[in-house]
Amino acid sequence: MLEILYEDENLLVVNKPAQLATHPSGVYEDNSLFDKLKEKYTTLHLINRLDFDTSGIILCAKNKQTAAKLNKLMFEKKIQKKYKAIVFGELKKEITVNKPIAERRGTNIKWKMKIVRKNSRDARECITFFKPLQTVEKKGEKYTLVECTPLTGRQHQIRVHLSYLKHPIVGDKIYIRDRVFKYYTTHDHKLNTECLEIIKTSRMLLHSYYLKFSLDNDERIITCDMPEDFRNFLS
12 burial (CB, 10 Å; 0-12 / 13-18 / 19+) is: buried
Where residue 189 falls (left for φ over 0; alpha for ψ -120 to 50; beta otherwise) is left
Confidence bin at 181 (pLDDT 50/70/90): confident
206 close to 224: Cβ distance less than 8 angstroms: no
| pLDDT value for 106 | 60
Whether 219 maps to a domain, the answer reads: no
For the cut 90, the answer to whether the pLDDT of residue 6 exceeds it is yes
| pLDDT value for 120 | 85
| pLDDT value for 223 | 97
Give 97-152 pLDDT, tens digit per residue: 999 998 876 655 556 889 898 888 888 999 999 999 999 999 899 999 999 999 99
56 close to 209: Cβ distance less than 8 angstroms: yes
Out of 17-31, 39-53, 91-105, 158-172, least confident range: 17-31
| pLDDT value for 112 | 86
Tell me how long the chain is. 235
pTM above 0.85, yes or no: yes
Give 56-73 pLDDT, tens digit per residue: 999 999 999 999 999 999
Q: What is the mean pLDDT of the chain?
A: 92
Three-point CA angle 44, 49, 52, nearest 5°? 115
Confidence bin at 30 (pLDDT 50/70/90): low
d(C-alpha 65, C-alpha 175), whole Å:
38
Phi/psi for 209 (5° steps) reads: -120, -5
Spatial CB neighbours of 217, under 8 Å, sequence gap ≥ 6: none
Whether 107 maps to a domain, the answer reads: yes
Whether 55 maps to a domain, the answer reads: no
What mean pLDDT comes out for the span 75-103? 96
* CATH number of the CATH domain containing 92: 3.30.2350.10
**Strand 206-215 and strand 55-61: pairing?**
parallel
Whether 40 maps to a domain, the answer reads: no
Whether 13 maps to a domain, the answer reads: no
d(C-alpha 32, C-alpha 113), whole Å:
24
Distances (CA, A) of 70 to 10, 95, 215: 11, 29, 8
Where residue 61 falls (left for φ over 0; alpha for ψ -120 to 50; beta otherwise) is beta
| pLDDT value for 107 | 53
DSSP-based three-state secondary structure for 172: coil
Structural element, H or E, at residue 113: strand 113-115
For the cut 70, the answer to whether the pLDDT of residue 29 exceeds it is no
Whether 153 maps to a domain, the answer reads: yes
Domain count, the chain: 1
Whether 163 maps to a domain, the answer reads: yes
Rounded to the nearest angstrom, the gap between the alpha carbon of residue 227 and the centroid of all alpha carbons in its chain is 14
Whether 71 maps to a domain, the answer reads: no
| pLDDT value for 109 | 56
Q: Which domain holds residue 183?
A: 81-204
What residues are labeled active site? 51
